[in-house]
Chains A and B, each alone.
Chain A
Amino acid sequence: MLADFFEYDFLRHTFLTGLLIGIIAPLLGTFIVVRRLSLLADALSHVTLAGIAFGLFLDKKFAVGITPLYGGMAFSVLGSIFIEKLRGVYHAYQELAIPIILSGGVGLSLIFISLADGFNTELFNYLFGSVSAVSKQDFLSIAGIAIFIVIIITLFYKELVTLSFDEEHAKVSGIHAKRIHLLFIVLTALVIAASIRIVGVLLVSALMTLPVAASMRLARGFKQMMFLSIVFGELAVIIGLISGYYLSIPPGGTIVMVSIIILLLSIALKRITWKPGKVREA
Chain B
Amino acid sequence: MDNFVVRMQDVSYAYEQKDVLTNINFSIPQGAFMGLIGPNGGGKTTLIKLLLGLINPDKGSIELLQQPRDKFKDWNKIGFVSQKANSFNKGFPATVYEVVSMGLTAKVGYLKFFNKTHKEKILSTIDQVGMLDYAYENIGNLSGGQQQRVFIARSLVNNPELLILDEPTVGVDYENVQRFYEMLHRLNTQYGITLLLVTHDTGTMTEHATEIACLNTTLHFHGKPEEYKSLTDIDLSKLYGHPVNLVTHDH
- Residues of A participating in the B interface, judged by any CB pair closer than 8 Å: 34, 36, 155-156, 158-159, 161-162, 164-166, 168-170, 172-175, 216, 219-225, 278-279, 281-282
| A36 contacts across to B, CB distance below 8 A | 89
Given A34, A165, A282, which contacts B130 in the complex, CB threshold below 8 Å? A282
Q: 12 interchain pairs (CB within 8 A)?
A: A159-B110, A161-B105, A169-B102, A173-B105, A173-B106, A173-B107, A221-B93, A221-B94, A224-B93, A279-B142, A281-B143, A282-B143
With both chains docked as a complex, state the minimum distance between the C-beta of B200 and any C-beta of chain A, in angstroms.
21
B44 part of interface (Cβ distance < 8 Å): no
A220 B106 Cβ-Cβ under 8 A: no
B26 part of interface (Cβ distance < 8 Å): no
Given B93, B113, B134, B154, which contacts A169 in the complex, CB threshold below 8 Å? B154
Indicate whether A158 sits within 8 Å of B145 (C-beta atoms), given known contacts A166-B88, A216-B93.
Answer: no
A165 B91 Cβ-Cβ under 8 A: no
B52 part of interface (Cβ distance < 8 Å): yes
Indicate whether A168 sits within 8 Å of B94 (C-beta atoms), given known contacts A162-B102, A281-B143.
Answer: no
B92 A279 Cβ-Cβ under 8 A: no
Give the secondary structure class of A's interface.
helix
B102 A165 Cβ-Cβ under 8 A: yes
B93 A282 Cβ-Cβ under 8 A: no
Given A34, A170, A223, A224, which contacts B105 in the complex, CB threshold below 8 Å? A170
Per the bound structure, the CA–CA distance linking A231 and B153 in Å amounts to 32
| B149 contacts across to A, CB distance below 8 A | 282
Given A158-B102, A281-B143, 18 further pairs, Cβ under 8 A? A155-B110, A158-B108, A158-B114, A159-B110, A165-B88, A166-B102, A168-B82, A168-B84, A170-B105, A170-B106, A172-B54, A172-B75, A173-B106, A220-B138, A222-B94, A282-B130, A282-B131, A282-B176
Per the bound structure, the CA–CA distance linking A263 and B59 in Å amounts to 57
A222 B93 Cβ-Cβ under 8 A: yes
B80 part of interface (Cβ distance < 8 Å): yes
Per the bound structure, the CA–CA distance linking A174 and B104 in Å amounts to 11
In the complex, residue of chain A having the shortest beta-carbon distance to the beta carbon of B176: A281
With both chains docked as a complex, state the minimum distance between the C-beta of B88 and any C-beta of chain A, in angstroms.
6
Q: Mark B53-96, 1 if CB is under 8 A from A, else 0.
A: 01000000000000000000001100010101100110111110
Given A156, A166, A279, A281, which contacts B141 in the complex, CB threshold below 8 Å? A279
A175 B138 Cβ-Cβ under 8 A: no
| A162 contacts across to B, CB distance below 8 A | 102, 105-106
| A155 contacts across to B, CB distance below 8 A | 110-111
B54 A221 Cβ-Cβ under 8 A: no
Per the bound structure, the CA–CA distance linking A34 and B88 in Å amounts to 12
| A281 contacts across to B, CB distance below 8 A | 143, 145-146, 176
- Per CB-CB distance, the 8 closest pairs between chain A and chain B, nearest first, are A221-B95, A173-B106, A162-B105, A162-B102, A174-B106, A158-B105, A225-B93, A222-B94
| B93 contacts across to A, CB distance below 8 A | 34, 216, 219-222, 224-225
A34 B89 Cβ-Cβ under 8 A: yes
B137 part of interface (Cβ distance < 8 Å): yes
| A225 contacts across to B, CB distance below 8 A | 93
| B94 contacts across to A, CB distance below 8 A | 161, 165, 221-222
Given B75, B99, B131, B142, which contacts A165 in the complex, CB threshold below 8 Å? B99
Which residues of B158-202 have CB atoms within 8 Å of chain A's CB atoms?
Answer: 176, 179
With both chains docked as a complex, state the minimum distance between the C-beta of B190 and any C-beta of chain A, in angstroms.
18
Per the bound structure, the CA–CA distance linking A170 and B145 in Å amounts to 22
Indicate whether A282 sits within 8 Å of B54 (C-beta atoms), given known contacts A158-B101, A221-B98.
Answer: no
B42 part of interface (Cβ distance < 8 Å): no
With both chains docked as a complex, state the minimum distance between the C-beta of A101 and any C-beta of chain B, in angstroms.
24
With both chains docked as a complex, state the minimum distance between the C-beta of A90 and any C-beta of chain B, in angstroms.
21
B97 part of interface (Cβ distance < 8 Å): yes
In the complex, residue of chain A having the shortest beta-carbon distance to the beta carbon of B88: A166
A220 B54 Cβ-Cβ under 8 A: no
| B38 contacts across to A, CB distance below 8 A | none
Which residues of B112-153 have CB atoms within 8 Å of chain A's CB atoms?
Answer: 113-114, 130-131, 133-134, 136-138, 141-143, 145-146, 149
B35 part of interface (Cβ distance < 8 Å): no
Per the bound structure, the CA–CA distance linking A24 and B107 in Å amounts to 28
B225 part of interface (Cβ distance < 8 Å): no
Per the bound structure, the CA–CA distance linking A282 and B139 in Å amounts to 13
Of the listed residues A36, A168, A173, A216, the one surrounded by the most CB atoms of chain B closer than 10 A to its CB is A173
| B84 contacts across to A, CB distance below 8 A | 168
| A175 contacts across to B, CB distance below 8 A | 105-106
| A223 contacts across to B, CB distance below 8 A | 98
In the complex, residue of chain A having the shortest beta-carbon distance to the beta carbon of B129: A282
B103 part of interface (Cβ distance < 8 Å): yes
| A222 contacts across to B, CB distance below 8 A | 92-95, 98
| B137 contacts across to A, CB distance below 8 A | 220
| B145 contacts across to A, CB distance below 8 A | 281-282
